[in-house]
Amino acid sequence: MTEIAPGVEQLYGFPKYGINWYLVGDVLIDAGGRPDAKRILKQLDGKTVTAHALTHAHPDHQGSSDAVCTQLGIPFLVPEKDVAAAEDPELIKQRQPDNWLPRLMQKMFAGPGHKVDQVLREGDEVAGFTVLDTPGHSAGHVVFWRESDRVLIAGDVVNTMHPFTMKRGVREPLDVFTPDPAENRRSIKRIAELEPSLLLVGHGPPVRDPQKLKDLAARLP
């Protein structure tokens, strides 16, 4: 676990930057796939964690949510339009594009559903970050934005590393995992306008150059 901004620590999956989770103050944001539970809980050992929030309910982000919330006895915070999928992961599969890759990811990474304790909506505050609606990659996808130092936890609105080749660079998530790519592009343009000084994502390393995100947005239709 590494502190990458005041009050923001990055937890690591395997391989490094393949899947990321963040401890923001005392709130865990995202929780990897089902096999990541032990890795996450080990990294959280000795830390104060009072809640767990999702950017979106996909298998590689909610897979360990039930284990984390149950073992730590903490509430589960989920974006409004992803609540049903977080509580019933079968809905994740139904909402994904009809392709063998999402079906494989579902089988490998999806964890049990877990009752949502708090619904997240645009403008809510979580550990000093503001919730912004950024749909497309999932119906309810949100990002967490701290304007004071322009730190953005962006989930999968963008990736900063190709999920299979590991090539680095700010890029769209793969269409095969994105039910509405056009809507996600609108979300990319929204977050690019924020000009984040630190961009943190679900897949890939941190990016500290806002121009890279702006360049991606400028290339999109």
Length of the chain: 221
> Residues 107-124: pLDDT tens digits?
999 999 999 999 999 999
- pLDDT reading at 164 higher than 90: no
In angstroms, the Cα distances linking 156 to 53, 55, 81, 151, 184 are: 14, 8, 16, 15, 9
pLDDT class of 163 with cuts at 50, 70, 90 = confident
Can you give the pLDDT at residue 112?
97
- pLDDT reading at 13 higher than 90: no
**What single-letter amino acid sits at 7?**
G
Please provide residue 105's backbone torsions phi and psi, each rounded to the nearest 5 degrees.
Answer: -60, -40
User: Structural domain tally of the chain?
Assistant: 1
Can you give the pLDDT at residue 14?
85
pTM score above 0.85: yes
113 closest CA partner among 65, 60, 51, 54: 65
215 closest CA partner among 181, 175, 188, 197: 188
> Residues 188-209: pLDDT tens digits?
999 999 999 999 999 999 999 9
> Residues 19-61: pLDDT tens digits?
999 999 999 999 999 999 999 999 999 999 999 999 999 999 9
Average pLDDT taken over every residue of the chain: 96
Please provide residue 73's backbone torsions phi and psi, each rounded to the nearest 5 degrees.
Answer: 65, 45
Structure tokens at 1: 């676990």
pLDDT class of 175 with cuts at 50, 70, 90 = very high
Can you give the pLDDT at residue 131?
98
**What single-letter amino acid sits at 89?**
P
User: Where in the sequence is the domain holding 75, given as residue range(s)?
Assistant: 2-219
Give the CATH number for residue 21: 3.60.15.10
